[in-house]
Structure 1
Amino acid sequence: MEDPLDALRPLMATHSLDALIVPSEDSHQSEYVSARDKRRAFVSGFTGSAGLALITMDDARLWTDGRYFLQATKELSDRWKLMRIGEDPSVENWIADNLPSDAAIGVDPWCVSVEAAQRWEHAFSKKKQSLIQLSTNLVDEVWKTRPPLEIHPVVVQPLEFAGRSVAEKLKDLREKLAQENAYAIVIATLDEVAWLYNVRGNDVAYCPVIHAFAIVTDDSAFFYVDKRKVSAEVHQYLTKNGIEVREYGVVESEVALLASGELRYSSSRKDSQVEAPKDGEIGLTRNNENEAKENKSSFIWVDPGTCCFAIYSKLPSERVLLQQSPLALAKAVKNPVELEGLRKAHIRDGAAVVQYLVWLDNKMQDIYGASGYFLEPEGTNKRKRSETMKITEVSASDKLEGFRAKQEHFKGLSFPTISSVGPNAAIIHYSPNLKSCSELDADSIYLFDSGAQYQDGTTDITRTVHFGNPSAHEKACYTAVLKGHIALDSARFPTGTTGHALDILARVPLWKDGLDYRHGTGHGIGSYLNVHEGPQLISFRPHARNVALQPSMTITDEPGYYEDGNFGIRLENVLIVKEADTKFNFGDKGYLSFEHITWAPYQKKLMDPTLLTPEEIQWVNNYHSTCREVLLPYMDEHEIAWLKRATEPISS
């Protein structure tokens, strides 16, 4: 097959381009995209979820962050140069410094956010370089095996799981618009559209979302989606909630009409004064001119981080309010029904994880005579592999999915399972491949990071185990990660604190030994939505300062340590932010703390109790005690015996 670089460069010359930027994102700036939108992976060979490719006539570079340095090194051919974000110059700075003045840099404006495009334009302008908005995506023109468009149905998320009606959410949204002197908002983020309209889909693997846009005005609501995905029942549901369904492809032209005040409901509404438009036409009222004049002092709200540049370019810049979507925070602060659903989903998920660990422990004993969660006497874990049996990273991952699939409300996985042994565990976002995956080894650490989509909640958990006799170094590293994990879980902090301030708590135990990790410590998690959800996060990165943690937000607690070529360790629970009961209330700020809702034992074998404080030991014992309490009803007799043994108290 022809290398995409060789196919793209003649096309670039035809368009008079000096360089082509190929982002990872789709038209909705999604982290995870459908197979047909994986353009950056196609051109570069790098399959991680985050990255940006730059192609010039004689160079090709791939930017990605610390989670993917090892993976990118393995996947990129020698025609590509890896650029490490945080260590190497940014893409805009590299272009400004290495391409000639008046250079033309092309990009598909549907695949880049307003924020990124404006940043690039500013950097390029310093040398009179220009960002060119291409009318077609050049990668699509050379991608002969691009996966076809698939049609998946839109489904309604019932109120018993959503917790709040569409009417309530629209009312809150319109109040936010009024507060900001905006009369409309363009919503491009897939999970925000799904959350606002209480619908779900299957257009992106692992994410229950639909490829759709939404426009909401002070008196209208539109849903731009491939109408083939909308059944009569769902259409009726949307109409009943005041939402008009329109074709996905007309959103670009209708955004332009929105700016002129001409975008209105079709005349199917009782108060309309015009004839109903034919299919594909845009319904307008006779009072558009007056309404447009009235709205000239108002703004159209656009989120610069999630709206694509193509949509923004259809709007007069002086009429646009560039500000984070109000739905981001509204979605992040879970309502009581969503919180209860998340708690229940995590209990069932914990049961599946424990059943998997019991199965894995038994299999490793059969194959190697090695036990996972129980430390055997020195010398009993001699390698005696059975040649008739083996467990691979992929077969283990499949087995875990099988246990989850038996749980109530299971809809699928929430991301590709990271099932990794030894050196593979040091690749932070490793994804095992059936053809090249490793076999589980009694002498190596095994890390699995996995989660599921249940209709009442999304889960994400990481545990690290060893089936032989871990070294003192491995135990010390695991214990340092555990100490950081406990420190964050146990934190109490004043209202207004951001995740940037809390990130250090999980790192201090590692820093004491000169260790660290290259990823953030926590991300939000959806309610049967995306496993990575903002705007809140716990991270060392500056944008973690932007949003303070609030009660009823969800956040993960996942410090780690990765030793290239040797092993990786990560521990992860999901937390709910809650109000803290403190003895004092300095400054009348109010204080917050965390409630952990993930339930699966930690491996006592990998702990060095002498490195734990009495308070940390008590935390582990209390956590394990609650694990027994909440998970025993889901276990059979054999699993109960295992769980009781795995959660026996530890002492120093």
Structure 2
Amino acid sequence: MTQQQLLIKTLNQLRNTTTKDMADILVSLRSLMSSYNPPLHALIVPSEDYHQSEYVSARDKRREFVSGFTGSAGLALITMNDALLWTDGRYFLQALQELKGEWKLMRIGEDPPLEVWMADNLPHDAAIGVDSWCVSIEAAQRWERAFAKKQQKLVQTSANLVDEVWKNRPPAEINPVVLHPIEFTGQSVADKLKDLREKLVHEKARGIIITALDEVAWLYNIRGSDISYSPVVQAFAIVTTNSAFLYVDNKKVSSEVYSSLKESGIELRDYSAVSGDVVLLVSDQLKSSLTDVQGNGAKEAEGKIDLIWADPRSCCYALYSKLKSDKVFMQQSPLALAKALKNPVELDGLKKAHIRDGAAVVQYFAWLDKQMQEIYGASGYFLEAEGGNKKKNSESMKLTEVTASDKLESFRASKEHFRGLSFPTISSVGPNAAIIHYSPEAETCAELDPDSIYLCDSGGQYLDGTTDITRTVHFGKPSVHEKACYTAVLKGHIALGNARFPNGTNGNTLDILARMPLWKYGLDYRHGTGHGVGSYLNVHEGPHLISFRPQAQLVPIQASMTATDEPGYYEDGKFGIRLENVLIVKEADTKFNFGDKGYLAFEHITWAPYQTKMIDLSLLTTEEIDWLNSYHSRCRDILTPYLDEYELAWLKKATEAV
């Protein structure tokens, strides 16, 4: 069974919940809310787990369980009379399809935010419950400030109320912790701990609580499979100026891993012990039992070092509540930026992984082109002829969004260092492509249609890097409007990828470059334009973003970061278009250097052709055509060694100069 099929099986189990089941869940939760002391007027059910993860394990999909909405981002609110689900523009269409019964969609950016809605609709002195392990410090404090205006109160429930009504909640999986060798990480644990401790001393902090799973994995050079598509371990970490701890289920740790961690000065503790150890950390009583802690690398500076560092966006409110607020240094984790700034070994690995991944994508589209012609009589990937024959050549042959994506996974699986997909493949035809984070199901997915646009957003996890690529194609005759929209998206994609900009520029500023060709026609898209990509870690990696959202202003784009370049355009009920490459930020060689700031540029590391028959060449400038031809030429040169005779012939045809 493929990774995609396993996901579909899990989603089907959740989606098979009937409207009556959903109503019964709400009845049960409201009963618990009424009997709680004090009685709760509302219950917040976040999407996140104890680590504020974007993607969570099956047993942590609480918001999904109560609402039926399966998207990765969302927030549920249950009152005695209402059931509301907030999500962003990526998921509006999906949420409308999945929400059942009394659940109502609240559109982030269009409808009032959760805290505003509660202030306006709940009584004074209302008690609003939440599992404080599943909400960040930042979110909880924002809600508390809003609630205080009407004397409303955020109540930290003693247990998660959803867990109490979730009778068939999936059990915790016991997956092994795996050491990630230095040939892929490029930096030892000792060196990472030394750098971290220097930052602690600089900020007069004696310790830091690390809760983000990818930060724990990166710092200790470990990987796992506790969460689908993200090679992380469900674990906490605490690092002090002379100690380091890993909080994880001991059954996941082999003797080899244990010995390696101990040699690096890391002491293992049970996952549940983090709560008590945070209390010890506050009183400066948290001590390592290791007699010789390695990798210290930091001496206490002059003055008292007594702060505890906690990232307000990733540290859960439950742990923060055990700290003395005046002793907490609340700032983004120093590991977020350190992890985003890839070292030379990581950059080299990412480039190699993307070459192998590009070969898999080319093999897939060459195979898909042949299938579309043989099964549907389609005109093919290259020919802009009338649409394919609607009557299949054989009724026994069927090509669906799921069977196609399974084939793509098989091509990736044949490549060196492949360890799985980096997210569920978005294999979408026609109207489904307008659902930005569409997830096809075997029982209900669409059959490929030669007269409709096909959008495929996919990626792989390799030991030396994580990949993410989107291509949009048409196997028949695209309409004039579809070509104009595709070309506008491509122009924005090229504009961002070719940008040169001074050091200090943030992703909020760069975002406009990808949108301007669409804005010219009054078009736009509801998602960000770019995100960082991990080094065999999360496919969505901060702390930087290229986005219209305010948080993209917080961290400037810096050399050796990765970023995706993925503008799009979507027409509800008709089609969707998105083009995506992964870029590496590098220093730019400019004629001048105004302000002595230094300038930056992007380097494309994704290799797969764009479909030229979807491009209205009359809308491209000479410079854009030159870039397209140059990129396609590089695709041929780079991917040729990985392809067979048929695939190479297909690639040469797909990359002919225009």
1:73 matched to 2:96: yes
Question: Which of 6, 9, 21 is matched with 1:2 structurally?
Answer: 21
Aligned residue runs from structure 1 range 358-377, under 5 A: 358-376=366-384
Q: Aligned equivalents of 1:124 and 1:380: distance in 2? A: 57
Q: Which residue of 2 aligns with 1:159?
A: 182
1:201 matched to 2:209: no
Range moving further from structure 2, 54-63 or 364-373: 364-373
Q: Which residue of 1 aligns with 2:392?
A: 385
User: How far did 1:606 drift?
Assistant: 0.4
Q: Aligned equivalents of 1:445 and 1:35: distance in 2? A: 32
1:342 matched to 2:350: yes
Q: Aligned equivalents of 1:265 and 1:544: distance in 2? A: 38
Q: Aligned equivalents of 2:170 and 2:387: distance in 1? A: 51
1:127-149 per-position Cα deviation (integer Å, ceiling 9, x unaligned): 00000001100000000111011
Question: Which of 432, 442, 448 is matched with 1:440 structurally?
Answer: 448
Q: Aligned equivalents of 1:77 and 1:295: distance in 2? A: 59
Q: Which amino acid aligns with 2:32?
A: L
Question: Which of 395, 399, 405 is matched with 2:407 structurally?
Answer: 399
Q: Which amino acid aligns with 1:385?
A: K
Question: Which of 119, 135, 139 is matched with 2:162 structurally?
Answer: 139
Q: Secondary structure at the match of 1:594?
A: strand
Q: Which residue of 1 aligns with 2:502?
A: 494
1:47 matched to 2:54: no
Q: Is the 8 A contact 2:387 2:476 kept in 1?
A: no
User: How far did 1:372 drift?
Assistant: 3.8
Q: Aligned equivalents of 1:271 and 1:177: distance in 2? A: 17
Q: Is the 8 A contact 1:393 1:420 kept in 2?
A: yes
1:260 matched to 2:306: no
Q: Which amino acid aligns with 1:511?
A: W
1:481 matched to 2:489: yes
Range moving further from structure 2, 367-376 or 206-215: 367-376
Change (3 A) 1:131 1:380: closer
Range moving further from structure 2, 574-583 or 365-374: 365-374
Change (3 A) 1:295 1:248: farther
Q: Secondary structure at the match of 2:514?
A: helix
Q: Aligned equivalents of 1:587 and 1:372: distance in 2? A: 52
Question: Which of 156, 172, 177 is matched with 1:149 structurally?
Answer: 172
Q: Aligned equivalents of 2:83 and 2:435: distance in 1? A: 23
Q: Is the 8 A contact 2:43 2:77 kept in 1?
A: yes
Q: Aligned equivalents of 1:169 and 1:123: distance in 2? A: 39
User: How far did 1:381 drift?
Assistant: 3.6
Q: Which amino acid aligns with 1:77?
A: K
Q: Is the 8 A contact 1:202 1:210 kept in 2?
A: yes
Q: Is the 8 A contact 2:387 2:475 kept in 1?
A: no
Change (3 A) 1:205 1:51: same
Aligned residue runs from structure 1 range 287-306, under 5 A: 297-306=305-314
Q: Aligned equivalents of 2:353 and 2:440: distance in 1? A: 26
1:172-222 per-position Cα deviation (integer Å, ceiling 9, x unaligned): 101111111111000000000000000000000000000000000000000
Q: Which residue of 1 aligns with 2:602?
A: 594
Q: Which residue of 2 aligns with 1:628?
A: 636
Q: Which residue of 1 aligns with 2:557?
A: 549
Q: Which residue of 2 aligns with 1:226?
A: 249
Q: Aligned equivalents of 1:5 and 1:221: distance in 2? A: 43
Q: Aligned equivalents of 2:116 and 2:29: distance in 1? A: 23
TM-score, with structure 1 as normaliser: 0.95
Change (3 A) 1:380 1:78: closer
1:269 matched to 2:288: no
Q: Is the 8 A contact 1:62 1:82 kept in 2?
A: yes
What is the number of equivalent residue pairs in this alignment? 629
1:192 matched to 2:215: yes
Q: Which residue of 2 aligns with 1:130?
A: 153
Range moving further from structure 2, 26-35 or 177-186: 177-186
Q: Aligned equivalents of 2:293 and 2:109: distance in 1? A: 56
Question: Which of 416, 433, 437 is matched with 1:429 structurally?
Answer: 437
Change (3 A) 1:224 1:295: farther
Q: Is the 8 A contact 1:183 1:295 kept in 2?
A: no
Question: Structure 2: which 5+ residue stretches go unaligned?
Answer: 1-19
Q: Aligned equivalents of 1:381 and 1:424: distance in 2? A: 19
User: How far did 1:522 drift?
Assistant: 0.1
Q: Is the 8 A contact 1:490 1:593 kept in 2?
A: yes
User: How far did 1:384 drift?
Assistant: 3.7
Q: Which residue of 1 aligns with 2:9?
A: none
Q: Aligned equivalents of 1:335 and 1:130: distance in 2? A: 46
Question: Which of 361, 378, 401 is matched with 1:353 structurally?
Answer: 361
Q: Which amino acid aligns with 1:346?
A: H
Q: Provide runs of 4+ in structure 1 moved above 4 Å.
A: 294-297
- Percent identical among aligned pairs is 72
1:564-589 per-position Cα deviation (integer Å, ceiling 9, x unaligned): 00000000000000000001000000
Question: Which of 330, 333, 340 is matched with 1:332 structurally?
Answer: 340
Q: Is the 8 A contact 1:497 1:548 kept in 2?
A: yes
Q: Which residue of 2 aligns with 1:416?
A: 424
Q: Which amino acid aligns with 1:418?
A: I
Aligned residue runs from structure 1 range 553-564, under 5 A: 553-564=561-572
Q: Aligned equivalents of 2:225 and 2:397: distance in 1? A: 36
Q: Is the 8 A contact 1:361 1:371 kept in 2?
A: no
Give the RMSD, CA atoms, in angstroms.
1.4
TM-score, with structure 2 as normaliser: 0.94
User: How far did 1:295 drift?
Assistant: 9.1
Q: Which amino acid aligns with 1:631?
A: L
User: How far did 1:546 drift?
Assistant: 0.3
1:62-85 per-position Cα deviation (integer Å, ceiling 9, x unaligned): 000000000000000131111000
Q: Is the 8 A contact 2:387 2:451 kept in 1?
A: no
User: How far did 1:380 drift?
Assistant: 7.2
Q: Which residue of 2 aligns with 1:64?
A: 87
1:100 matched to 2:123: yes
Q: Which amino acid aligns with 1:570?
A: R
Q: Secondary structure at the match of 1:2?
A: helix
Q: Aligned equivalents of 1:87 and 1:646: distance in 2? A: 42
Q: Secondary structure at the match of 2:21?
A: coil
Q: Which amino acid aligns with 1:625?
A: S
Q: Aligned equivalents of 1:231 and 1:388: distance in 2? A: 49
Q: Which residue of 1 aligns with 2:547?
A: 539
Q: Aligned equivalents of 1:380 and 1:351: distance in 2? A: 28
Q: Which amino acid aligns with 2:309?
A: W
Q: Is the 8 A contact 1:367 1:384 kept in 2?
A: no
User: How far did 1:373 drift?
Assistant: 2.5
Q: Which residue of 1 aligns with 2:623?
A: 615
User: How far did 1:370 drift?
Assistant: 1.4
1:438-478 per-position Cα deviation (integer Å, ceiling 9, x unaligned): 00000000000000000000000000000100000000000
Change (3 A) 1:80 1:321: same
Q: Aligned equivalents of 1:124 and 1:334: distance in 2? A: 41
User: How far did 1:491 drift?
Assistant: 0.2
Q: Which amino acid aligns with 1:224?
A: Y
Q: Secondary structure at the match of 1:82?
A: strand
Question: Which of 522, 546, 567 is matched with 1:514 structurally?
Answer: 522
Question: Structure 1: which 5+ residue stretches go unaligned?
Answer: 273-290
Q: Secondary structure at the match of 2:456?
A: strand
Question: Which of 479, 489, 496 is matched with 1:471 structurally?
Answer: 479
